[in-house]
Chains A and B, each alone.
Chain A
């Protein structure tokens, strides 16, 4: 394999570059005044609850240093929970507590934490260590998703999450990110998570990418990664579309997890979703984006949009004309 691809080859595959994503999609379809709705996860949660979108339950918000001292009380009420910054990005600053071991807390990867370490992490969040521009932040304590058992074989610690790109209200690309040993339980592709492309029409995983290379098995569990059908797939797509309607962003990344008992939950929204989804799905984003853009009259009803999205990849004629 060559060391690089030519711009021409990438264009032929409809690959969206960072510059074009910013100028043609993020800046054009996402009004800046709406950013706070998604950049602030508390705000996102509040909006979602108003519109009846399923989200992990909010346990508590720590907003001043003084409250950090009282965290023991909150922690005592919940066996497992997630602590994350309200303004975090890229999955940074998220601490997942799985359970207890005596006086210690157990992290997702099995290591043990003292209450002091948790408090330190929380005050780091408050002082803005993980927020954009280092502005003081709040810490969110919320329900830790108990992921669907079907992911047990293809996931190493951490929580697998589904990323859906919703463009002008239409889901145009999807992938699921599976944490691995070398991603340290994080679901970020560039940290070593496995990315599986999902066929929007069927909810079935297609190919898988690990460290930018095509794989067909999970590197830690060894289970095959293609052909896995996502449970509740239509609900997941509907959830993603609802989120886009709620925040009003034209180009949106929706992160969804599937809980064992609660079903699909919206974890967070992203106004500048990354481009790795293209590698995972093996398809350039531009193909579907152009297809959506070329339609003057997009359906508005959520079920009609669902059908439209599922038909996107079938209509290959349009792209062949463009190429």
Chain B
């Protein structure tokens, strides 16, 4: 009965944890491993102009909504310039100003983005445009095209598709030819299409973006056409008619205004470059969280201030360490000093790294033990003796720090967090076991503790696990479930198989 209740709880918790994890991984697109999609692109816009020695004002459109990507970070490199960011419905604009600009001026804007399948849609809703008065001969050409397309379409989407098909036809009629001749660039061509769409009062606009691909030093803005169907903006390639925003297309700005503008200078030039970088995905997820709109991301640890996040990152590894202790003690049957002491030691190893941590631990415990055995002869009371051991531990650590500093081993300088109280207690317990149960038992438990601490260190510093627990804290439910499950394990411990081997000589009875 008891077993079944506990097992059901365990199962329910494990399932719940895994379900939420799966939801977040597959629905919200949080990657399960830090390796997955860790590439982050940095797009740099370089704006340069020739100063005239007079006040200068420079404006640059910068990305606001970026479907298919999440903004991780942005950076303005413009040392002496005053910077303000202007925000409109659809765009953001960086406005730089300076009292005196002389000679070549170069300013940079850098943005880091990572792929993400969380699409962010524009929520602007345009009005219906008035049909313009087209001058002849365009008026009759456009009218012919409009009527032609209307015949073969049902709604805004199919109308646009059909229009693009006709306008981009490889065998155009004279009406299409007439419009085509007006456009000499992709931008103008898109404007022409928008102009035609106005004739049927379909709201349309142009968006500009950059193709994100492996390092490109000279990337160019490329326009796409967007029409509004009453609910959403639909995106089309004005030259091929294919629908949707391409996977590697980073939307930079909306509208047909120039990407950059300048007052008080000459030779304005804007260049884009794209580089791929790799960053820790925890950072990606952390920075991206704010941009997301979901119940689970609002309550995510990623929305905490960064310094708190670091504490939690450490804290969240504790349950994993506890699970390890449960496993090593109930399934394997290792003996340790105290239940969770090894895990606290393992936490300390994080500061010093494993090798030096083990050396520190062994050194302090063995020197401490020797001093503790001497203290025994002084017939001190327990608490003063414990305090003395603690003071000695601190002195030992001080000495080790000073010595290693002289030797130039900087690693050991970071031992300040080494849990001194725990070390003192370890020394005390070890000496009692030494006296009561012999040196062998004391060494056995000491080595057992050290072993568990090492295992704990390996588990608790595993990048994948750290990432996983931090981004999916509901995995704690799974850990809880596993603890409940193991709490019901009544089988033999691994060490008991050795302990009771002597019984093999007997016939089973």
Contact at B379–A116, with CB atoms within 8 Å?
yes
Inter-subunit contact A92/B502 (CB<8 Å): no
Which residues 340-363 of B sit at the A interface, judged by CB distance below 8 A?
none
Q: Residue of A at shortest CB range from B489?
A: A19
**Interface assignment of B147: CB less than 8 Å from any CB of chain A:** no
Interface stretch of the complex, out of B12-20, B190-198, B436-444: B436-444
- Cβ B382 vs Cβ A17 within 8 A: no
Q: A1-B504, A10-B496, A123-B381 are in contact. Are A287 and B509 (CB under 8 A)?
A: yes
Instruction: Choose one: A19, A90, A188; the contact of B491 (CB below 8 Å).
Output: A19
Given A10-B500, A127-B382, A191-B492 contact (CB < 8 Å): no
Q: In the assembled complex, how far is the CB of residue B333 from the closest CB belonging to chain A, in whole angstroms?
A: 7
Partner of B504, one of A2, A119, A323: A2
Within 8 A of A (CB), among B290-330: 330
B330 contact set on A, CB distance < 8 A = 19
- Determine whether the beta carbon of B498 is less than 8 Å from that of A4: yes
Question: What are the residues of chain A within 8 A of B504 when measuring CB–CB?
Answer: 1-2, 5, 9
Residue ID in chain A nearest B428 by CB atoms:
A129
| A214 engages B436 (CB within 8 Å) | no
Indicate whether B383 reaches chain A with its CB closer than 8 angstroms.
Answer: yes
B residues within 8 A CB of A12? 508
B149 to chain A, nearest CB (A): 77
Closest A-chain residue to B502, C-beta based?
Answer: A212
- Tell me whether B498 and A191 are in contact (CB under 8 A): no
Q: Which residues of A contact B333 (CB under 8 A)?
A: 18
A287 and B498 CA atoms in complex are apart in Å by 20
Interface string of A201-219 (1 = CB under 8 A from B): 0000000010011100000
Q: Mark A181-199, 1 if CB is under 8 A from B, else 0.
A: 0001000101110000000
* A190 lies within 8 A of B441 (CB): yes
| Residues of A contacting B437 in the complex (Cβ-Cβ under 8 angstroms) | 90, 92, 188, 190-191
Closest Cβ of chain A to B94, distance in Å, is 64
Check A18/B503 contact, CB under 8 A, given A123-B381, A129-B382, A191-B438: no
Given the complex, which residues of B lie within 8 Å of A323, measured CB to CB?
508
**Contacts A18-B333, A19-B330, A190-B437 known; A13 to B506 CB distance under 8 Å?**
yes
Check: A20 CB closer than 8 A to any chain B CB: yes
Q: Is B257 among interface residues, defined by CB-CB distance under 8 A?
A: no
**Contacts A10-B492, A17-B496, A19-B490 given: A128-B382 contact, CB under 8 Å?**
yes
Q: Chain A's nearest CB lies how many Å from the CB of B188?
A: 79
Asked whether A282 is an interface residue with its Cβ less than 8 Å from the other chain, the reply is: yes
Bound-state CA distance A222–B360 (Å) is: 47
A256 to B488, CA, bound (A): 33
A262→B492 CA distance, assembly (Å): 41
Which listed residue (A6, A116, A127, A209) contacts B383, Cβ 8 A? A127
Cβ contact within 8 Å between B501 and A4: yes
Query: With a CB–CB cut-off of 8 A, which chain B residues contact A17?
Result: 490-493, 496
| Contact in complex: B498, A18 (CB < 8 Å) | no
Cβ contact within 8 Å between A20 and B491? yes
A230 within 8 A of B: no
Q: Determine whether A111 belongs to the interface, using a CB cutoff of 8 Å to chain B.
A: no
Verify if B182 is at the interface (C-beta below 8 Å from A): no
Per-residue CB proximity of B472-489 to A under 8 Å, as 1/0?
000000000000000111
Contacts of B103 in A (CB 8 A): none
27 contacts between A and B (CB under 8 A): A1-B504, A4-B498, A5-B497, A5-B503, A7-B492, A10-B492, A10-B496, A13-B503, A13-B506, A13-B508, A15-B492, A17-B490, A17-B496, A18-B493, A24-B490, A90-B437, A92-B436, A92-B437, A120-B379, A127-B381, A128-B382, A129-B382, A191-B438, A192-B438, A213-B502, A282-B503, A283-B509
Known: A9-B504, A13-B508. 20 other contacts (CB 8 A): A1-B504, A7-B497, A10-B492, A10-B497, A13-B503, A14-B508, A17-B491, A19-B491, A20-B491, A65-B381, A90-B436, A90-B437, A119-B379, A130-B432, A188-B437, A213-B502, A275-B496, A282-B505, A283-B506, A287-B509
B residues neighboring A (CB under 8 Å): 330, 333, 379, 381-383, 432, 436-438, 441, 487-493, 496-506, 508-509
> A residues engaging B (CB < 8 A)?
1-7, 9-10, 12-15, 17-20, 23-24, 65, 90, 92-93, 116-117, 119-120, 123-124, 127-130, 184, 188, 190-192, 209, 212-214, 275, 278-279, 282-284, 287, 316, 319, 323
